[in-house]
Amino acid sequence: MPSFVVATQPRSYPVLVAPGALGALAEHLPRGAGKIFVVTTADVWELHGRRIEAPLAGRAYEVLLFPGGEERKRLAELEALAEQMATRGGDRTSVVVAFGGGIVNDLGGFLAATFMRGIPVIQAPTTLLAQVDAGVGGKTGVNLEAGKNLVGAFHQPLAVLIDPDVLATLPEREYRAGLYEVLKTGIIRSERLFRLMVEERDRILDLDPDVVPEMVAQAVAIKAEVVSADERESDLRRILNFGHTLGHALEAETGYARLLHGEAVAYGMRAATHLAHRAGYLAGADRDEILRAITLYGPIPSLGGISAANLVARLVRDKKTVHGRIHFVLPVRIGEVKVVSGLDEALVLEAAQAALDELAAA
Ligand code: GLY
């Protein structure tokens, strides 16, 4: 089974990528584990619950259903889940299994980070976005009115179990939203992955089993390498935020309701690519190639009626803004990015507007 190691100071843990990976769940539970709490959504449980039930047979476990939705990734939901754990036999020996998409991985991970001051979590991501990004690397948290993921904790899991077979039931739009995160990984760190996504676009969209697990594995390998080098995002890990600076602003501006996270990142990657070129970091040919590749996995919902000025105004409240300086991750060529701050706000506004104009009529 392809397996990658995330080596961080709190712990090193495996990330398994293979059909049937969820069947290995019991092997990754600690000796003496108490009650297992599977945090999931009704749709994921209905479609894939048996993949978790089988390895947990004979163990004490409870299923906690979370309603889902970015707008529900809030402290109030966390509290409700923690209350359920406390009344249903949770204690310090309990383990959370976060079984679902990025929202469940973030919220379930944060629940584990905070319940009784911290219990273990196993991440079992079921969307492409969660498999290649949210489920790997220990970032957990919830949203505030003021912005995304503003309350949270680094809480590394015991293991991440990725079964590419579960992608077959993902709505097509969600799958494409995840593909933008894979493309992001190629643009920031791997020309090989970028080319795979450009050349094999049709097979990837068709979920070809000869291509998709390989694509997921390449993306996971990069995520594991980056997190191992810089768990706390003081340096290299910041490159994973390519497209997220303006992407987060767009999600907040649209009330977390109009776009999926990956779609907002697609917008943010377009804007950052324009910005990189306008600021003199990226050649025109590479800019065009990156924009074309993003378009290959479109369209995203129309962005008509959004104000670029409002998006830029939101950037100062983002976690990536340090001492009032906005940091951007900008491509310098395909497979390499640079973290840049102190850019002229007029340039940022122009780039944000250029990407909005391209997508206004989509
Ligand atoms: N999603 C970005 C990171 O894990 O750092």
pLDDT at 322: 61
- What residues does ligand 1 touch, defined as CB less than 6 Å away? 133, 137, 139, 233, 237, 240
Task: Measure the CA–CA gap between 287 and 196, rounded to whole angstroms.
Answer: 18
Which atom of ligand 1 is the closest one to the Cα of 226?
Answer: 5
Distance from residue 280's CA to the centre of ligand 1 (Å): 26
Residue 109 has pLDDT above 70, yes or no: yes
Distance from residue 282's CA to the centre of ligand 1 (Å): 23
Percentage of residues of the chain with pLDDT beyond 90? 86
Nearest to 60 by CA among 83, 28, 27, 26: 26
Among the ranges given (43-52, 121-130, 154-163, 316-325), the one the predictor scored with the smallest mean pLDDT: 316-325
- Render pLDDT for 265-283 as a digit per residue (tens, 0 to 9): 999 999 999 999 999 999 9
Tell me the CB-side half-sphere exposure of residue 206, using CA atoms within 13 A.
Answer: 8
- Render pLDDT for 298-350 as a digit per residue (tens, 0 to 9): 889 888 889 999 999 988 766 566 666 788 999 999 999 999 998 999 999 99
Residue 97 has pLDDT above 90, yes or no: yes
Question: Does residue 46 have an active-site annotation?
Answer: no
Residue 12 has pLDDT above 70, yes or no: yes
**Same fold? 3-168, 172-361:** no
Q: Which of 228, 240, 242, 269 to mutate to test the pocket of ligand 1 (most atoms within 8 A of CB)?
A: 240
pLDDT at 362: 60
Model pTM? 0.94
Domain 3-168 has CATH 3.30.70.520: no
Residue 125 has pLDDT above 70, yes or no: yes
The token pair at 172 is 């097509």
Residue 136 has pLDDT above 80, yes or no: yes
CATH number (1.20.1090.10, 3.40.50.720, 2.20.25.240, 1.10.8.10) of 172-361 reads 1.20.1090.10
Q: Give the range with max mean pLDDT: 144-158, 204-218, 304-318.
A: 204-218
* Residue with CA closest to ligand 1 atom 3: 240
Question: Does residue 310 have an active-site annotation?
Answer: no
**Long-range interactions of 51-54: CB distance < 8 A, separation 24+:** 51/22, 51/23, 51/163, 51/166, 52/22, 52/25, 52/97, 52/99, 52/124, 54/23
Q: Which of 237, 327, 329, 337 to mutate to test the pocket of ligand 1 (most atoms within 8 A of CB)?
A: 237
pLDDT category of residue 71 using cuts at 50, 70 and 90: confident
pLDDT at 157: 98
Question: Does residue 223 have an active-site annotation?
Answer: yes
> Which strand ranges, in their side-by-side order, compose the sheet holding 321-322?
321-322, 325-333, 336-341
Percentage of residues of the chain with pLDDT beyond 70? 97
Question: Does residue 233 have an active-site annotation?
Answer: yes
Residue spans per domain, the chain: 3-168, 172-361
Helix (H, G, I), strand (E, B) or coil at 59: coil
